[in-house]
Structure 1
Amino acid sequence: MKQLSCHVLDTANGRPAAGIAVKLFTLQSPSGNDSFHLECLAEGVTDQDGRARFGDVSLIAQNYTLRFMVAPYCQEQFGQAFFPFIDVNFTVSDERNHHIPLLLSPFSYSSYRGS
């Protein structure tokens, strides 16, 4: 059973980003074209360490989206929200667990596959 977790780090302030709502969606292309349909599978909120876990979801081989609802956090920490939310799209194609970190600052973000 493949599990999913994520982690948000506020790189501008050098600390974990707590209290960010995160939604997990399947990312499906119904007819194989360029249009995609999102179906929400689970929701969570980052804890004091900036982490959220989706323990009730078992990932299968397909495309997913993690949507980080960063606007309230950015407004509070940076005084503005350039990004209201951030979508990280990824594909599950193996049997490993998946950890998706998000590095957040006022005008940029990055993500990668963690371990």
Structure 2
Amino acid sequence: MAAGYLTTHVLDTARGMPAPGIKIALYRVSGNNHKKITEAVTNADGRTDSPILPQGKVKQGHYELIFFCGDYLDQHRLSTDEVKFLDQVPIRFGITDDEAHYHVPLLLSPYGYSTYRGS
């Protein structure tokens, strides 16, 4: 069984703190097909309570995390526009080693975001 797993978290860079209460959906992507694998919500530390893709479930291929940020930005008065600049943030990435730990965080502000492969 593969020992690799996938984790994520969300940091609110505008407020300088973790971002709790953000729903995250994980999809496996093949061409134009998206298969939803799971969803989770960030906790007080901005992380999911367990790996979003646990050991034994990681397979090589393409994935997409979708972070549903609009409600969070509204709740913290970081977005005042009726039409949000950022509402859902997709991050598509590849997994090449099903034995590795992949960490894909989201650094979020009202008008921009970034990510990286963490550890």
Q: 1:62 and 1:79 mapped to 2: Cα distance?
A: 35
Give the structure 2 partner of residue 109 of structure 1.
113
Task: Name the one with the larger strand percent.
Answer: 1
How far does residue 98 in structure 1 lie from its aligned partner after superposition?
0.9
For the 8 Å contact 2:6–2:54, the answer to whether it is kept is no
Query: 1:56 deviation in Å?
Result: 4.4
Q: Does 1:25 align with 2:10?
A: no
The alignment yields a C-alpha RMSD, in angstroms, of: 1.3
Query: What corresponds to 2:65 in structure 1?
Result: 66
**Where does 1:1-16 land on structure 2 (aligned, <5 Å)?**
1-16=3-18
Q: Secondary structure at the match of 1:73?
A: helix
Alignment deviations for residues 32-66 of structure 1 (CA, whole Å, 9 cap, x no partner): xxxx1111000100010000232546110000000
TM-score (norm 1): 0.89
1:41 matched to 2:24? The reply is: no
Q: Distance in 2 between matches of 1:21 and 1:62?
A: 23
Q: Does the 8 Å CA contact 2:9/2:47 hold for their aligned counterparts?
A: yes
- What is the aligned partner in structure 2 of residue 33 from structure 1? none
- Deviation, 1:75, is 1.0
Does the Cα contact within 8 Å between 2:20 and 2:43 map onto a contact in 1? yes
Deviation at 1:86, TM superposition (A): 0.4
- 2:88 counterpart residue number: 85
> How far apart, in 2, do the equivalents of 1:92 and 1:64 lie?
8
Q: Which residue of 1 aligns with 2:52?
A: 54
* Aligned equivalents of 1:64, 1:79: Cα separation in 2: 28
SS across alignment from 2:65: strand
- Looking at structure 1, the residues matched to 53 and 39 of structure 2 have their Cα atoms a distance apart, in angstroms, of 11
Using the alignment, how far apart are the partners of 2:37 and 2:93 within structure 1? 15
Q: 3-state SS of the aligned residue for 2:34?
A: strand
- Structure 2: state its 5+ residue gaps: none
Alignment of 1:100 onto 2:89: no
Corresponding residue SS for 1:51: coil
- The percent of aligned pairs where both chains have the same amino acid is 37
